[in-house]
Amino acid sequence: MAERPYVIDELISAKAIAARIEELSDAIKEDFAGTEKLVVVGLLRGSFVFIADLVRELDLPVEVDFLEASSYEDGMESSREVRILKDLRGQIEGRDVLVVEDIVDTGYTLDHVLHLLESRNPRKLRTIALLDKPSRRETGVKADWTGFEIPDEFVVGYGIDFAQRNRNLPFIGCVRFVEPG
Ligand code: IMP
Ligand code: MG
């Protein structure tokens, strides 16, 4: 894909993200109170910054595992065909599990991952998504907790990429294409 010039307009500040994570972690701690072990499953790669901040707010016995599913091939549109590129290292049967996703867009990724993990018989399975674009949904899936509902904009930052770039921005911004020159 040819590089079209774009700018990034801030949508959610780093401060607002941190404040929301504190609220979300309170709800998660309440829901999983008394757990023997909570397996926090990050969906690679977009959730890596979110999961890092989230687990540091959870004073629960936590283990971290990762799963990589792919439906975007460096573009801006979901292929609607979800493939598992990297599976969990650990077993989740009989475990408390929290799936951490960056964005729920069409919902195909989360839907696919939840069906897969359900089939492994966890004790309890919950999901959290930092961002949700409800207007884009094509499946019935909904995360148990959502950080922010956003409009139908392509966003980057805080772990989220556009063609693998901009994951290191501390805030979340919208990609806006500009005419060259
Ligand atoms: P879904 O399967 O359509 O729900 O897509 C979910 C995945 O697509 C997310 O985990 C992201 O990796 C990616 N995605 C969806 N919207 C955006 C966006 O605005 N920017 C970057 N990646 C996105
Ligand atoms: Mg993703």
| Confidence grade of residue 130 (pLDDT, cut at 50, 70, 90) | very high
pLDDT digits (tens, 9 = 90+) for 64-92: 999 999 866 667 777 788 999 999 999 99
Q: Is 53 a catalytic residue?
A: no
Q: Establish if 110 belongs to a structural domain.
A: yes
Which residue minimizes the CA distance to atom 12 of ligand 1? Answer: 46
Identify which ligand lies nearest to the alpha carbon of 135: 1
Distance CA 156, CA 164 (A): 10
In percent, the amount of the chain with pLDDT more than 90 equals: 90
Collapse the DSSP code of 18 into the 3-class scheme (helix H, G, I; strand E, B; otherwise coil) and give the result: helix
Which residue minimizes the CA distance to atom 9 of ligand 1? Answer: 103
Q: Establish if 1 belongs to a structural domain.
A: no
Distance CA 173, CA 175 (A): 7
CATH number for the domain harbouring residue 148: 3.40.50.2020
How many domains are contained in the chain? 1
Domain that includes residue 126, residue range? 6-177
Which one from 9, 74, 96, 105 is the annotated catalytic residue?
105
- pTM attached to this predicted model: 0.95
Cβ neighbours for 119, distance < 8 A, ≥ 6 positions apart: none
Confidence at residue 81, expressed as pLDDT on a 0 to 100 scale: 85
Distance CA 61, CA 57 (A): 12
Confidence at residue 61, expressed as pLDDT on a 0 to 100 scale: 98
Distance CA 153, CA 11 (A): 10
Rounded to an integer, the average pLDDT of 12-16 is: 98
Distance CA 156, CA 46 (A): 9
